[in-house]
Amino acid sequence: MRKSRIITSILVVVFCLALSAPLLSAQEDGPVNINAASAEELASLKHVGEKLAQKIIEYREKNGRFNSPEEIINVSGIGEKVFEANKDRIVVD
């Protein structure tokens, strides 16, 4: 009896993870509005961790809205390679 409960519990967890996987990957692949995104959303960009995400937020607070996705290169630590890796995801709504 105990063994079947453990197996059932494991199956439920695996099933829940399987259902949530498409949602997680969609979030990682979706557009990121660099004028409104949280640090967590910005950190979902390739090669952008917590520190760079915070720099993006500080930059927009100091300088105002980004007018184009390319302006993200003005943030210290973000160069052409980071921009090129993310240009299809960055938006400025």
Does the pTM surpass 0.75? The reply is no
pLDDT at 77: 96
Which of 23, 18, 20 is CA-nearest to residue 10?
Answer: 18
Residue 5 pLDDT grade (very low, low, confident, very high; cuts 50, 70, 90): confident
Whether domain 31-93 has CATH 1.10.150.310: the reply is yes
- The per-residue pLDDT for range 13-69, each reduced to its tens digit, is 676 666 654 444 335 689 999 999 999 999 999 999 999 999 999 999 999 999 999
66: helix, strand or coil: coil
CA distances from 63 to 55, 56, 59, 73, 76 (A): 12, 10, 6, 13, 13
- The per-residue pLDDT for range 69-89, each reduced to its tens digit, is 999 999 999 999 999 999 999
pLDDT at 22: 46
